[in-house]
Amino acid sequence: MSALKGNLHAHTTLSDGRFSIEEVIARYRELGYDFLAITDHDDRIPNDYWFRIPAGDDRMLILPGVELDYRPLSQHVGKVLGDRETLYILNHPARYALTVDQTLRRIRGISRDGLPIEAVEITDTGIYQPEYDVEAIALPKIATDDSHDDEHIGRAWIEVNASRDPDAILRAIKAGDFAVRFA
List residues near Zn ion by CB under 5 A.
67, 146
Task: Tell me whether residue 95 or residue 171 sits nearer to Zn ion (CB atom).
Answer: 95
Closest approach of Zn ion to the CB of residue 135, in Å? 26
CA angle 149, 53, 78 (to 5 degrees): 65
Closest approach of Zn ion to the CB of residue 2, in Å? 28
Residues whose CB is less than 8 angstroms from the CB of residue 139 and which lie 6 or more positions away in sequence, other chains included? 90, 107, 117, 118, 119, 120
Closest approach of Zn ion to the CB of residue 1, in Å? 30
Closest approach of Zn ion to the CB of residue 83, in Å? 23
| 87, 89, 106, 147, 163 from 160: Cα distances, Å | 14, 16, 26, 20, 9
At 64, the amino acid letter reads: P
Task: Tell me whether residue 98 or residue 162 sits nearer to Zn ion (CB atom).
Answer: 98
Task: Tell me whether residue 33 or residue 162 sits nearer to Zn ion (CB atom).
Answer: 33
Task: Tell me whether residue 128 or residue 171 sits nearer to Zn ion (CB atom).
Answer: 128
- Give the residues across from 73 on adjacent strands: none
Cα atoms found within 13 Å of the Cα of residue 40, Cβ hemisphere only = 21
At 113, the amino acid letter reads: D
